[in-house]
């Protein structure tokens, strides 16, 4: 038997569904709601059946979360607020059992448990203090508990035991892991009691897709900060757990907002949600060392709704193009690869190519433009991949970085004349464009020879040695980027070897006031680094 309700201020469709033992979909269908986000105070709502919740229903399969926003903003809620937590889709799905409630189990995605920050077992816990509050309070786990929920998911997977948001909150309360209701992520690993030992690291502006890929390949989920309401990219609006990668290059994630799986695609150096809330990452996240790697069979599906017992990385997609003939920049390299030393590429967030550089390929400025130019050169670079990787192994340099320099300098050989000189610069020689005027002693071998590539790599390595001496306070990644910038414009006068810049920000754009010249295009290392990140994904 159906009944009719009058919607009150603060009601959500998911809460009403729970209260009356039905589902969001059933309510939407019964009331012809095209957009379940748009329910207004005073509106009449037909509830089909009208039964109370059956005994024994597992709370986490229907509980939804409030988005981290004020309760009064009901008119601007997004679809995730009303989406019930997903349930396992296969009988073989691995589960995590709640340590407090023996009857309660959590489904997993890629070996990572799926938690809902609005679960009734912890929704009203106070963040940053003991006791409970109204679940709608700004200090509740339901409203602001995405960070502890996402971290609890990752640490459960890496420790092999169930660490719920309830346990994480209690541990952070005792260990001083909060500043107000903000989480000190680097305290979170201690929740395992060193069994196993896990250390969390807050990535500030460095959580690139390349770094995410490296962690997933190592069997480690990561926590990713995303924005969708504010433009303060240093302080995410929300946190999710990245669990794996699909064959088409999209990423699988557990979203504590509603306790559901979502899918994200790569756009430049960001990950962007494919549906629901318009999540976008800006380099903020948390990585983990230690623990037990999470492994599983690769998934060929792009769906974010499939639950399985394990799984972190997917098989590479042999396709190199999307429908319509557009280049698929996210297609993975197929076949074996001997890429070396590329991990460091994920430790720097780069701006990519300038508009002046990108226009040669009619590409947009930024990382997207760098990726497109590298893709346009990739078929030519493939001819030299084995040599580039061999020299990289000898010199300890990233093989993808050497390939990226070849892309920037000679378009992978496409900009060379038959004698090995550049069409636009008679002084540049070979695939790596060594300057014959400045470094005549380095002109050895043919323009595509191993000897030529080795001389260029050694030049880059000498630049790196100088950078380490002049800027010992810079990170290893910034020192290497400085060496790349110096490959373009030199390391400066012998008496002032730091003339290329006193801060990482100056290495490309220069500083006129101090007489520091910009690199070519004002973007040399930024562009090369972005190309290297892309080529690393392709197996270089």
Q: In 44-164, where does DSSP find H-type helix?
A: 141-144, 146-159
> What is the distance between the alpha carbons of residues 119 and 63, in angstroms, rounded to a whole number?
5
Chain-centroid distance of CA 84 in Å reads 25
- Expressed in percent and rounded to 5, the helix, strand and coil fractions of the chain are 35, 15, 50
510 within 8 A of 517, measured Cβ to Cβ: yes
511: helix, strand or coil: strand
* Cis ω for the linkage preceding 501 (within 30 of 0): no
Q: Which of 409, 455, 506, 537 is an active site residue?
A: 409
The first and second tokens of residue 76, run together, are 């601007």
Q: In 441-523, where does DSSP find H-type helix?
A: 450-470, 476-489, 506-509
511: buried, middle or exposed (CB in 10 Å: 19+, 13-18, 0-12)? Answer: middle
Q: Among all chains, which residue has been given the structure tokens 């690139």?
A: 208
Q: Residue 377: which of 403, 343, 345, 342 has the closest Cα?
A: 403
> What is the distance between the alpha carbons of residues 303 and 253, in angstroms, rounded to a whole number?
11
149: helix, strand or coil: helix
380: buried, middle or exposed (CB in 10 Å: 19+, 13-18, 0-12)? Answer: middle
> What is the distance between the alpha carbons of residues 398 and 30, in angstroms, rounded to a whole number?
59
| Residue 409 bears catalytic tag | yes
The first and second tokens of residue 68, run together, are 């981290």
Residue 91 makes CB contacts below 8 A (sequence gap 6+) with none
76 within 8 A of 7, measured Cβ to Cβ: no
> What is the distance between the alpha carbons of residues 434 and 454, in angstroms, rounded to a whole number?
11
Return the active site residues: 409
């Amino acid at each position: 038997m159906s009944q009719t309700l009058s919607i009150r201020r603060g009601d959500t469709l998911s809460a009403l569904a729970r209260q009356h033992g039905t589902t969001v979909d059933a309510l939407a269908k019964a009331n012809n709601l095209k957009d379940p986000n748009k329910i207004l105070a005073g509106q009449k709502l037909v509830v089909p059946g009208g039964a109370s919740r059956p005994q024994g229903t597992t709370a986490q399969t229907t509980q939804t979360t409030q988005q981290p926003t004020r309760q009064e903003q009901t008119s601007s809620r997004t679809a995730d607020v009303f989406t019930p937590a997903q349930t396992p889709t296969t009988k073989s799905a691995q589960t995590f059992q709640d340590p407090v409630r023996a009857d309660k189990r959590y489904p997993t995605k890629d070996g990572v448990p799926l938690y809902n920050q609005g679960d009734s077992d912890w929704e009203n816990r106070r963040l940053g203090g003991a006791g409970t509050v109204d679940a709608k309070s700004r200090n509740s786990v339901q409203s602001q508990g995405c960070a502890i929920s996402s971290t609890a998911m990752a640490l459960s997977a890496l420790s092999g035991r169930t660490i719920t948001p309830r346990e994480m909150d209690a541990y952070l309360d005792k260990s001083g892991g909060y500043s107000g209701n903000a989480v000190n992520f680097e305290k979170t690993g201690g929740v395992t009691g060193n069994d196993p030992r896990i250390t969390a690291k807050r990535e500030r502006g460095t959580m690139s897709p390349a770094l995410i890929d490296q962690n997933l390949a190592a069997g480690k989920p990561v926590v990713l900060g995303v924005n969708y309401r504010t433009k303060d990219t240093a302080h995410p609006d929300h946190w999710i757990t990245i669990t794996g990668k699909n064959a088409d290059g999209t990423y699988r994630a557990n979203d504590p907002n509603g306790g559901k799986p979502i899918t994200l695609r790569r756009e430049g150096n960001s990950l962007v949600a494919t549906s629901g809330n318009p999540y976008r990452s800006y380099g903020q996240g948390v990585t983990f060392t230690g623990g037990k790697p999470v492994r599983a069979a690769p998934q060929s599906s792009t769906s974010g709704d499939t639950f399985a017992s394990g799984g972190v990385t997917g098989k590479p997609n042999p396709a190199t193009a999307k429908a319509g003939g557009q280049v698929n920049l996210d297609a993975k390299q197929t076949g074996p690869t001997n890429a070396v030393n590329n991990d460091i590429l994920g430790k720097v967030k780069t701006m990519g190519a300038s508009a002046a550089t990108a226009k040669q390929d009619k590409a947009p400025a930024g990382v997207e433009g760098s990726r497109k130019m590298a893709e346009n050169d990739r078929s030519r670079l493939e001819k030299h991949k084995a040599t580039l990787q061999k020299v990289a192994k000898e010199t300890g340099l990233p093989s993808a970085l050497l390939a990226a320099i070849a892309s920037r300098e000679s378009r992978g050989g496409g900009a060379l004349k038959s004698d090995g000189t550049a069409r636009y610069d008679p002084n540049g020689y070979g695939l790596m464009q060594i300057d014959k005027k400045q470094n005549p002693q380095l002109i050895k071998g043919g323009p595509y020879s191993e000897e030529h590539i080795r001389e260029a790599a050694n030049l880059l390595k000498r630049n790196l040695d100088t950078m380490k001496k002049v800027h010992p306070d810079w990170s290893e990644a910034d020192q290497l980027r400085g060496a790349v910038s110096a490959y373009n414009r030199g390391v400066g006068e012998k008496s002032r070897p730091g003339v290329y810049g006193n801060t990482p920000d100056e290495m490309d754009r220069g500083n006129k006031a101090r007489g520091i010249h910009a690199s070519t295009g004002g973007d040399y290392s930024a562009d090369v680094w972005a190309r290297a990140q892309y080529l690393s994904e392709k197996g270089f």
